[in-house]
Amino acid sequence: MNNIELIKTRKDLTQKRLNIPFNATVGFTPTMGNLHAGHLSLIESSLRENEFNFVSIFVNPKQFGPQEDFVHYPRTLKEDLKKLENLAGRFDKPVAVFAPQSEEEIFPDNYCTEVAVKNLNAILEGRDRPTHFDGVTTVVYQLLTLVRPHVAYFGKKDFQQYIIIKQMVRDLLLPTKIRGMEIIRSPEGLALSSRNHYLSDNGKQEALLLRQTLLQAKEFIQSMFLKNSKLDLKEIHRMLQELSDDIQWHYLEAKNSNNLNDIEESSLKIVILGAINVEDTRLLDNIEISLEGF
């Protein structure tokens, strides 16, 4: 694999980073592997924009709850490396892939520190998965301090995660720019996710309800704004409740897209976030709405 350098230890990763010239730009895409077109679009952006590029592949146990699928989460390192080799070859740029040989390479023995972004970690996904985002921010902090990238790339499918990581980087004064990248979808509109492989063909069709509902909610809010130049919060809440009045919905909410605060009558930047259960698989999606100049 001429364009891929596989790194398995923290020591080798640190040495690799030290060997990069001081004035060279470094891009980084953290993943849990099982790479799909969404992941590859992030890595492609990194390759276009940076001289040196890192990808991590690590299934992080800290972000899985006790009843979640850590053991069964797909681990496809061989296939992932092949996809990365093909992508790197198109740009004739090497990619350093950090795939730790053990959990201890990220979390040393007796590790007892947790990075938590309070309040943001307790809403939406955090209500049902109270330890999830603390596990995410803890591992992302570890990886950012090891790789020390100038830019790190995250997909906006996990919009709450994206906002939380941006907040963590601001709060801890980390010298990394967080780039949120647009959602990559199947031709039918389903947001690409490693969890989609759990779905049958019928399940994938059923999952399109999430995208269709988000589009309905967006149209409702835009029409309201066109008529009144402001938002009726009670009507928006009623509409969202009506659209998600089914046991398979975990939530469907409208938030300020800059910080996930509750929207106000004058809000112009909105994100609608939803989560549903299809064939025992939890699926997330969202849609952003800009009312500026609308």
271: enclosing H helix or E strand: strand 269-278
* 269 bridge partner residues: 290
- Distant-in-sequence contacts of 128-134, Cβ < 8 A, 24+ apart: 128/250, 129/65, 129/68, 130/65, 131/62, 131/63, 131/65, 132/63, 132/64, 132/65, 133/63, 133/160, 133/161, 133/164, 134/62
Q: Helix crossing, 233-243 with 201-228: angle to 10°?
A: 160
Q: Do residues 96 and 16 touch, judged by C-beta distance below 8 A?
A: yes
CA 120 to chain centre: 15
> Which of 36, 39, 150, 197 is labelled catalytic?
39
Q: Is 72 a catalytic residue?
A: no
Query: Which amino acid, residue 187?
Result: P
Distance CA 185, CA 66 (A): 30
Closest by CA position to 63, among listed 130, 153, 144: 130
As a residue count, the chain comes to 294
User: What are the helix (H) ranges across 148-280?
Assistant: 159-171, 201-228, 233-243
Catalytic residue set? 39
